[in-house]
Structure 1
Amino acid sequence: MRDLDKALADIVAIRSQIAAGTAFRGYGPATMAATGAVALLTAILEFWLLGDATSEPLGFFFGWFIAAALSGLIIGIEMRARSRRHHSGLADAMIHQAVEQFLPAGVAGVLLAVVMWKFAGETLWLLPGLWQILVSLGIFASVRSLPRTVALAGAWYFISGFAVVVLASQTHTLSPWTMGLPFVIGQSVMAGILYFASGDHDVED
């Protein structure tokens, strides 16, 4: 029985090593573009419905949490379908690896929002920029299994995050556009990269 358990553990380890060295093809350009559209729609709706977002931070951030959850659901559904199609028996290992790479940034974003809301409400104006910086770190963490050019999208979010912090520091206000526009551009860049990437020779070994 011990030998069987060891053999199964070895198989799992081998599959994980193979997955780590394989280009992940679970992200589709159309889905990335769709998440950009979700960001744009959220910004427009909040601009129309909230008026002064700074005076209604709960509504502001609730809207973006819904947008993030919807985008994650869209990406997750396509990731599973594309992985089954492109990676066959390695699909589960590839999905696990992709989620593992981005998960720390996602969890940090949620916890940061909760802590700032609970203990430092006067600093909530920082959150849109900090979220963009965390997204950039998640993208950089995923570069080794995606086309190397996705680093351009990571760089965009990194720069836009700090730019949003600097702009918001002048007024300490929340704006749907400081969230919406950077994500529309960033997700569009990701969609373009995934569409034009040539695959094997554009992914690190």
Structure 2
Amino acid sequence: MRDLDKALADIGAIRSQLAAGTAFRGYGPATMAATSAVALITAVLQHSLLDDPTAQPLAFLLGWAAAAVLSLAMIWVEMRARSRRHHSGLADAMIHQAVEQFLPAGIAGVLLAILLWRFAPEALWMLPGLWQVLTSLGVFASVRLLPRTVALAGAWYFLAGFAVLVLASATHSLSPWTMGLPFAVGQALMAAILYFASGEADVED
């Protein structure tokens, strides 16, 4: 029984090593473009429905939380389907590694939102910029699994995040556009990168 457990553990380790050295093809450009549209639509809806987002921070946060959940659900469904098609037996290990890259930034973003809303609501104006910076860290963490040019999207989110922080510091107000436009552009850029790279010539082997 002990030999069987060791053999299974060795097989698991080998699969993880193979997954680590394989370019991940679970993200599709169409879904990334769709998440760009979700960000833009959310910004338009909040601009129309929220008279003063700064005075309605919970509605602002819940709107973007719903947009994030919808986007993640679309990415997850496609990621599983594409991974089964492109990675076959390594699909589960590849998905695990892809999620592992973004998980710290995602958890930090959720906890940061809860912390600011609960204990420092006067600082909520910083949240859009901070979310974009955290997204950039998640993108940079995934570069070794994706086309190298995906770093351009990471750079966009990084620069956009700090630009949003500088702009918002003048008024200390929340705006749907400081969330919607950077994420719409960033996700559209991701879609273009994945489309032109095609998971072939521009990936780490």
Residue 24 of structure 1 aligns with an amino acid whose one-letter code is: F
| 2-structure distance, mates of 1:185, 1:198 | 20
Please state how far the C-alpha of 1:51 moved relative to its aligned partner. Answer: 1.5
Per-residue deviation, residues 91-139 of structure 1 (Å, max 9, x unmatched): 0000000000100000000000111111111000000000000000000
| 2-structure distance, mates of 1:39, 1:161 | 15
| 2-structure distance, mates of 1:56, 1:36 | 24
Residue 85 of structure 2 aligns with an amino acid whose one-letter code is: R
2:174 matches 1:174: yes
Q: Which residue of 2 aligns with 1:35?
A: 35
Q: Which residue of 1 aligns with 2:22?
A: 22
Q: Which residue of 2 aligns with 1:70?
A: 70
Any idea what SS the aligned residue of 1:7 has?
A: helix
| 2-structure distance, mates of 1:107, 1:132 | 14
Please state how far the C-alpha of 1:52 moved relative to its aligned partner. Answer: 1.1
| 1-structure distance, mates of 2:173, 2:198 | 42
Residue 89 of structure 2 aligns with an amino acid whose one-letter code is: G
Output aligned runs, 1:161-200, within 5 Å: 161-200=161-200
TM-score, normalised by the number of residues in structure 2? 0.99
Output aligned runs, 1:38-49, within 5 Å: 38-49=38-49
Please state how far the C-alpha of 1:47 moved relative to its aligned partner. Answer: 0.3
Q: Which residue of 2 aligns with 1:87?
A: 87
Gaps of 5+ in 1: none
| Equivalent residues, number | 205
Please state how far the C-alpha of 1:203 moved relative to its aligned partner. Answer: 1.5
| 2-structure distance, mates of 1:108, 1:68 | 14
Please state how far the C-alpha of 1:198 moved relative to its aligned partner. Answer: 4.5
| 1-structure distance, mates of 2:27, 2:198 | 14
Residue 175 of structure 1 aligns with an amino acid whose one-letter code is: S
Q: Which residue of 1 aligns with 2:158?
A: 158
Following TM superposition, the consecutive aligned residue runs of length 4 or more in structure 1 with deviations greater than 6 angstroms are none
| 2-structure distance, mates of 1:117, 1:185 | 26
Q: Which residue of 1 aligns with 2:112?
A: 112
Identity of aligned residues (%): 77
Any idea what SS the aligned residue of 1:201 has?
A: coil
Per-residue deviation, residues 42-61 of structure 1 (Å, max 9, x unmatched): 00000000011111111001
Residue 86 of structure 1 aligns with an amino acid whose one-letter code is: H
Gaps of 5+ in 2: none
Any idea what SS the aligned residue of 1:202 has?
A: coil
Residue 168 of structure 1 aligns with an amino acid whose one-letter code is: A
TM-score, normalised by the number of residues in structure 1? 0.99
Q: Which residue of 2 aligns with 1:57?
A: 57
